[in-house]
Amino acid sequence: MDLRQGWPVRPRRRRHADGPRLRHHRWGHEAVTARAAEGISALDLARRAVQLARRAGAEQCDAIVVTGSESTVAVRLGEVEKLIEAGSLGLGLRVIIGGRTAVCSTSDLTPAALEQFAAETVELAAISAPDEFAGLPDPSLFGRPADAAALGLYDERIEALSTDEKIRLALAAEAAAFAADPRITNTDGASLSTHVGEVALVNSLGFEGSYPATSISLAVEAIADDAEGKKRNGYWFSAERSLSRLGDPEEVGRTAARRAVDQLGARKPATTRVPVVFEPMMAISLLRHLAGCATGDALYRGATFLAGREGQPLASPLVTIVDDPRLPGRFGTRPFDGEGVATRRNVLVETGTFRGFLFDCYTARRLGRTTTGSASRSLESAPSPSSSNLVLEPGSLAPGEILAGIPEGLYVTALMGAGFNPATGDYSRGAAGFWIENGQLSYPVTEVNVSGNLAAMLADIDGVGSDLTWFGSAAAPTVRIREMTVSGR
């Protein structure tokens, strides 16, 4: 479980409804029923795990409990293909004894099983290798759980949304894709998913906190037929914490259709060095690469090209990048991090200058720093630093102005592959999009490769758009890089 994004569903039992096309899954776990019968809250379960671990010999410990229910409706060609309803309940326990740490998880939360689980986790910690940097946060750093109510993490309308309404929204999105253009001949369907859950965290130094959270997402993939039988797929989605922010289903469908049709007749340009423009969704991928390099974990492991660059120019003066877990209603928003530390706004890049890394308590201790409230964790693993809501702050240029003045270049709407080296910053990825001629999108391109070095790419940004767009827990505007190598035919 990532405290920023949602919770895993752990299927245990399923039953299928009759019918050749409709599959209706209901997944759950016996422990969920036991918990409901006993009326035990997530916070009470976490408290109980900490008490049991301390009784078994833990010097320090913390417990995280994650509950959730989710549903997914999938439609294709105007018919419901799949309905899924799932429930989950899990607990993760971290035990520290003399710097020796063990992290275990369970979904069997009956009283006897939980007591045995806590004792076994303590036993594992006792035989683990010691680490002088292991430990819980100082209590002075703890967040205030009451802050959760003001952060817009929960929308009761999502919990109240009926299955019929979910089906209607998904069907409307797919129908809009077909109606948008006669060249849309097929789809991979449309899906609408919701999640309602709660996170609770308790530690042995006195921190206790919990918060509810919801999410909803709608996605469509449209297909157009190109020459020689080639299929061109166009995908679009909207994902939010509240129903009111969810994109209009018909607009989501139309956008997916447009992105498929826009690729018809795509060809390879010649290999050259030209300006490269990243649409907002693709610009976010650059943010993700940078954020992955800007963590204390990457720093102490020597796996980042940003080492030794704090306080130095890194990017164009047009670039400011922040990580802000306090933005109301966003996917990465949280009142406290995965260790119970108060969250805060952290500036990664300020008008081109690299300001610093994201730390959890462990990496901060190893490097003689202070945690930035950036710990994220799953039920099965120890905390580690990561970003929350990543934002490349917008500039003043309209998207058309970003393109203006480019005699020849590439506008990127899709990226493929994982060609990024965080230790060196070297960047090479497959791409598709449009060729730019005389400041206008001229024709679609595919099967090209864009390459460079992320540090040089950031420094060469010479245009930042005003069209800030959110995709999940990150937001960016259109971005123009002065020159990159584009490899084609």
What does DSSP assign to residue 227? G
Q: Which two tokens stand for residue 10?
A: 């752990």
Q: Any long-range contacts for 24-29 (C-beta under 8 Å, 24+ apart)?
A: 24/82, 24/83, 24/84, 24/85, 25/82, 25/83, 25/84, 25/85, 25/86, 26/85, 26/86, 27/84, 27/85, 27/86, 27/87, 28/86, 28/87, 29/87, 29/88, 29/89, 29/107
Residue 230: the pLDDT is 86
Residue 1: the pLDDT is 37
Q: What residues have CB less than 8 Å from 219, skipping those under 6 apart?
A: 190, 191, 235, 236, 237, 238, 252
Q: What residues in the chain have per-residue pLDDT under 70?
A: 1-39
CB distance 449 to 430 below 8 Å: yes
CB distance 184 to 177 below 8 Å: yes
CB distance 243 to 157 below 8 Å: yes
Supply φ then ψ for residue 336, to 5 degrees.
-145, 160
Bridge partners of 428, per DSSP, are 451
Entry pTM: 0.91
Q: What residues have CB less than 8 Å from 112, skipping those under 6 apart?
A: none
Q: Where are the alpha helices (DSSP H) in 68-199?
A: 111-126, 156-160, 163-180
Query: CA-to-CA distance for 188 and 170, rounded, in angstroms?
Result: 12
Residue 30: the pLDDT is 39
Q: Which two tokens stand for residue 100?
A: 């020796």
Query: CA-to-CA distance for 344 and 339, rounded, in angstroms?
Result: 14
Secondary structure (3-state) at 275: strand
Residue 10: the pLDDT is 27
